[in-house]
Structure 1
């Protein structure tokens, strides 16, 4: 991922997620941005179309300055994908924690059946990403991790291909991300 900030737009010089409006390259104007969270790692931009785009962590301060200069709101929100991908962490959670996660997912409008279906679809991908690759993430897996697993070098291309069309998978992930509180 490679990004360059201008006065009123962001140039995505290399964006690795097929299906993204800025893949493999593209421009995003300040008017196309709903809000941003420069505190996250990697920082996120939410577009007016409901897409989440990422910038490199090293450019956190540049994103913050860009947003302040252009009147773009900084907004922190929970990542619904972090809750959905929690079972794929190298961590065990107690029943109270699992119930709290389930409650947040229900509050975001996801039924237990839908959560189970989503997790079933991404199980081979996320197991390969976090366990088979020996990444062993134990704190948080997010939308960025999901997209990295679907397109990056840590997962066998056969597992990635089983997800179907990369652009369709990306759009599906974004639709779910948009449901966060």
Structure 2
């Protein structure tokens, strides 16, 4: 679900990692003028398009992303790590009640998500992310990139994976939530609903 992104002069070349029904990987181009902003310091580094898509670049290509942004005058803007906070309970680390409370406060202030919103999102993705992290055993950080990987990983039990017909809607839903509080996504619980909404 996370495509390969090549930075090519004044455009991004995006190759879907999963082959199509015809057997070939699909590639598309996005002009640099359609890139809204980037965050090379995110984990992994992020590119956000004007259409709301989040793309990821491997950390070892951070310098290449920074040069691409400088040449193409693409703004560098951090955003709150909403999915990092939402997925925190599924990492291999225990958190104190004070820490959990601080996370909920941050989600409310930065993204407009109240405790019910947070509980609903975590209930929706919890089984999937638990299965994913049972293998990865990440104790440091789980975020949007991990969630999108988990949604299609072939080693995740089939009943937990996102069905192929639902993947585009799930990806859009997850990206809308990632953008909450950034001034571009919807505010509050509107993005919390079912992925097809």
* TM-score in same-fold range (> 0.5): yes
CA gap 1:172/1:30 in 2 versus in 1, 3 angstroms: same
2:112 aligned to which of 106, 109, 113: 109
For the aligned residue pairs, the C-alpha RMSD in angstroms reads: 2.1
| Structure 1 residue runs without a partner (length 5+) | none
Aligned residues: 174
Deviations 1:105-133 (A, max 9, x none): 111111211111110011110110002x2
Equivalent in the alignment of 1:80: 82
Written as runs of structure 1 = structure 2, the 5 A alignment for 1:36-115 is: 36-107=38-109, 108-115=111-118
Tell me, yes or no, if structure 1 residue 121 matches structure 2 residue 124. Answer: yes
CA gap 1:174/1:2 in 2 versus in 1, 3 angstroms: closer
Q: Distance in 2 between matches of 1:152 and 1:66?
A: 30
1:29 aligned to which of 28, 31, 34: 31
Q: Distance in 1 between matches of 2:162 and 2:38?
A: 31
TM-score by length of 1: 0.87
Q: Distance in 2 between matches of 1:103 and 1:164?
A: 35
Q: Distance in 2 between matches of 1:109 and 1:88?
A: 21
Question: Larger deviation: 98-107 or 162-171?
Answer: 162-171
Written as runs of structure 1 = structure 2, the 5 A alignment for 1:132-171 is: 133=135, 135-161=136-162, 165-171=166-172
Judge conservation of contact 2:15–2:28 (CA < 8 Å) in 1: yes
* Cα shift at 1:47: 1.1
Q: Distance in 2 between matches of 1:85 and 1:54?
A: 18
Q: Distance in 2 between matches of 1:15 and 1:75?
A: 27
Higher RCO (C-alpha under 8 Å, 6+ residues apart): 1
| Structure 2 residue runs without a partner (length 5+) | 183-197
Secondary structure in 2 matching 1:179:
coil
* Cα shift at 1:98: 0.8
Large movers: runs of 4+ above 3 Å: 161-164
